[in-house]
Structure 1
Amino acid sequence: MSHKDHYYNKSKQEGYRSRAAYKLQQIDREENLLHEGKTVVDLGAAPGGWLQVAAEEVGEEGTVIGVDLQRIDPIDGVETVRGDMTEESTKQEVRDIAGDSVDVVLSDMAPNMTGEYSVDHARSVHLARQAFETALDVLDSGGDFAVKVFEGQDLDDFRSDLEPEFQYVRTLRPDASRDSSSEVYLVGKGRMTAPVEAGDVVEVEIVDEGSEGDGVAKVEEYTLFVPGAEQGETVEVAVTEVKPRFGFAELV
């Protein structure tokens, strides 16, 4: 049995709507994207193979939202939005369902293939950039993003645009991808929304004391831990490390 037939037949036997379901399972095993209770948005979700996997992983306490211009047949535990995710009205419909927090944005979108490699690559990067822009609009701090893109000359530039927005970015090629396919998946972990960057020098007020005895400062609701600082002080600090929900700084 060929590699292609294996996953195609497996999807039919196990009730998944597409062989792509196994790609998401493999990406999730590598990068731990899907957890019980998470809120997941899948862009270009039809026919729904990724939605099925996401719903299984987040469980009854989670929320899974599929977005596509095409109609998606109902899936237990999944909400669907029919529309263009680049339009504000569609994003607002997603926000209305998701509430204040989207933990994961997924995109397995691919262009209509022309057979001309450079054209197909450029179109795939365009779709991936649209998904990325949507992720930046709706993804919560610390959230994760996974997007398909075809290999080619613009891939490195696209990855370079992702890297400042996440703690780290990896390029993966799931085993379930067809041998002949040039597709890869970029996975961004830990959406960064901090108002400061490593190396910044800022003046802060120490408003609390952390469990380890560090001073705690706030910069636009973002928490900085400052060793050696005491509650009530106003000090100048240099930011040394930035994480999605908190960072570290040292006294200047």
Structure 2
Amino acid sequence: MAGKDEYYNKAKQQGYRSRAAYKLQQLDEMEDLLSHGDRVVDLGAAPGGWLQVASERVGTGTVIGVDLQRIDSLEGVETIKGDMTDEGTRGEIIERIGEADTVLSDMAPNMTGEYSLDQARSVHLARQAFETAREILTPGGDLVVKVFEGRDLDALRDDMEAEFEYVRTTSPAASREESSEVYLIAKGFLTAPVEAGQRLTVGIKDVGSEGDGIAKVEGFTVFVPDAGEDESAEIEIEEVKPNFAFAKRLD
């Protein structure tokens, strides 16, 4: 049938509000994004296909959908009608959920038919989702955003890589073959008070089981090789993880 495909028909049969539900299912299977008990925020959530999948997979967790359009009620899902870039909307999200384990965005711009313009708008929407995620994600949390391939995609990915443990670009099977959409999956939100390449002086408080010295920077753990307890060390941060970092000695 013209304009319809396998996933469209499958969604109708299985009660999903959009064929996009299968995209999230496949992305979750690729990267283990949704777990029982998670707190999930879906930006631009109407009509609710991703909300349905998220709710199924987090069980007793919390799922909040945000959209300028009204989202018909779904059991076990909270919705907010508002602009996610508005400070009041973000405040309402935080009030309801505190922090999120996963932020999702399947947003696409209203299409003009001029690809360069549509692509630029898709990057803008993805950046808005990224900025929202930076504000509400818990340490180690994940972000998924849709964007069209083209200009500024690499710059967006570079900026996301600076904030997450790693970022993957992928396209699920449920995306239409002719579509230029891809998804950036960012895993392990970094909220450390240190960053790679930073140099500082630390005091070694303890020694770990692997023999590395353990320093604390604003309560954050930094592992320092060849350092003993109660020693002071000049270090350079080499790698940052959600809950700890590795450094090398400079002295």
Q: TM tier, shorter chain?
A: over 0.9
Distance 1:176 1:2 in 2: 17
The answer on whether the counterparts of 1:215 and 1:225 sit within 8 Å (CA) in structure 2 is yes
Q: 2:10 corresponds to which letter in structure 1? A: K
Distance 1:115 1:140 in 2: 38
Distance 1:28 1:69 in 2: 25
Where do 5+ consecutive residues of structure 1 fail to align?
Answer: none
Write out aligned runs for 1:1-252 (5 A). 4-60=4-60, 62-99=61-98, 101-252=99-250
Q: CA offset at residue 2 of structure 1? A: 8.4
Distance 1:176 1:45 in 2: 18
- Secondary structure of 1:80's counterpart equals strand
Q: CA offset at residue 170 of structure 1? A: 1.1
Q: 1:13 corresponds to which letter in structure 2? A: Q
Distance 1:56 1:165 in 2: 28
Q: CA offset at residue 248 of structure 1? A: 1.5
Q: 1:64 corresponds to which letter in structure 2? A: V
Q: CA offset at residue 39 of structure 1? A: 1.1
- Secondary structure of 1:147's counterpart equals strand
**TM-score after normalising by structure 2:** 0.93
Query: 1:161-192 CA deviation, whole Å, 9 max, x = no partner?
Result: 22211121111111111122111111111112
Distance 2:193 2:183 in 1: 28
Query: Percent identity at matched positions?
Result: 66
Q: CA offset at residue 235 of structure 1? A: 2.3
The farther-off stretch of 219-228 and 184-193 is: 219-228
Distance 2:231 2:37 in 1: 40
Q: CA offset at residue 48 of structure 1? A: 0.7
CA RMSD for the aligned pairs?
1.8
Where do 5+ consecutive residues of structure 2 fail to align?
Answer: none
- Secondary structure of 1:153's counterpart equals coil
Distance 2:89 2:242 in 1: 26
The farther-off stretch of 149-158 and 88-97 is: 149-158
Distance 2:167 2:220 in 1: 23
Distance 1:159 1:115 in 2: 25
**TM-score after normalising by structure 1:** 0.92
The answer on whether the counterparts of 1:4 and 1:178 sit within 8 Å (CA) in structure 2 is no
Q: CA offset at residue 213 of structure 1? A: 4.3
Change (3 A) 1:49 1:200: same
Distance 1:151 1:250 in 2: 38
Q: 1:58 corresponds to which letter in structure 2? A: V
The farther-off stretch of 228-237 and 135-144 is: 228-237
